[in-house]
Each structure stands twice: as C-alpha cells, then as structure tokens.
Amino acid sequence: MNTLRVFCFSCFLVFTSSNSQELILEEHFSGNRLDETVWNYELGNGCPDLCGWGNNERQIYTKDNVAIKDGNLVLTAAFNGKNYTSGKINTKNKIEFKYGTVEVRAKLPTGQGVWPAIWILGTNISEVGWPKAGEIDIMEYVGKNPHEIHTTLHTSDSYGESKNTKITTIPSIEAGFHVYKADWTKDFIKFYIDEVLVYTFSPELKNEETWPFDQPFYLLLNFAVGGNFGGPQVDDSIFPQEFLIDYVKIYKPKK
C-alpha cells in the first residue's frame, strides 16, 4: 500500500507501520468540526425500517448533538420535554478494516437511561442483516448499572442477550477518561480497559454462525437513551449529558 497522508482540521490520517500493524486512523478531534472525509453522521430514529434502532431506544440522532469542543468529540444527549436527541457517527465506506486494533479514550456520561457505546459492525450489514454481519461491542455502559463496562460479541450463534459477553466492574470508571481497546486477529479478539485484559473471545469452532469476523468492519460511536438495554426507566432530570471522546486510533495488519 502506498503511503497516504491527509491533513485536516479535526484529524491526522496516516498510513504508517509499527511492528506488525499499520496505523490507518489517528483522530484527536483538534479542529472545530467533524471531518466528513472520515466520519458519517447517522441521523433520525431508525424509522421506517428500524424504529428505535431495533432496541426501543428513545433518541433521535441529529447533527446538532455532535460537536468538537476543547479537543474532544462531544456526543450530547438532551431532552426538551417532548423529544430526546443525541449523536451517532460511523466510518462506513471511509475507514474499514479486517483485523487490527481499535483504541478509544473516552469519558462516560452518567444517570438512569444513558447508554454510550464504542463498537464495530460488519460492512456487509446491508446485504446480510444483523446479527449475521457480526458486531463487536468494545464498550457499552448503562447508567442503571453504575461502575459496569459491558464487552459483547453478537453473532448468528448468540445475539441480543449474548452468551459471549463480559461485565467488568470498576468503581472509578465514571471518573475521568479511560482507554477502551480491542485487538482482533483471525484467531481471537481481546478486550482491554486501561491496558488491562478483561476478556478474550476465541471459540473453538469458527464458522459463519460463531465467527463472522473474517471480513471488513467499520467503527461506530454513539450515545443512546433508554431502550431494551439502557432503560426502560429514564431520569429526565439528568439531561443534558455528554459522552466525550478524546481520541480514536485504528490499526490494521501490514500487508
């Protein structure tokens, strides 16, 4: 692959090499607006095809709830007395990768009803649907269960309330920024919080039912409200709440 350097207000995108991997995205959100050569906005409430985003979520995603402030991506969930709004972005068709490492430094929102997430999804989602495309949840947090980080895999073999999940309890997780990372290879997926290994997924039998992870994926960052996992109760008094992302780094194996 030829070396490509792209300089922009909000990110530094560079193809380079480091040991066995090459850095394909290093995003520090240092500008004043989202770089749409890297990121897509996801908008609306999922209707008509996937109302509530398939999880009975309450939020409507808008561009206004996505901002770059003080070197952070800020996804804000708000409530105006009638509607909940929030932010969601992804790298589909822009930054996609098969195997590699995803590292995100973020600060969580808090309160009953918040549901921020860092996850990757198979790029063939439009063709084969979910869960056949595969989903890797690097970090999910729900305010109704303080101090718990959920790490989950969704496959045709196990989805929804997946058996392939790990809950890690960290009493200080709501305080300040923490680093969430996944290392993904053809043999395993390992998950880390602040460089501490918390879960390894490596089924003995790897087929399209248990391991849809031999294809390109793309990254999603979002802040849901309520829903099957985050709800059903939502404390309207907590809003607005902010999900802050300091940086995103994505590596993929060198060719």
- Mind telling me the catalytic residues? 135, 140
Per this entry, what is the length of the chain? 255
Bridge partner residues of 74 (DSSP): 67, 244
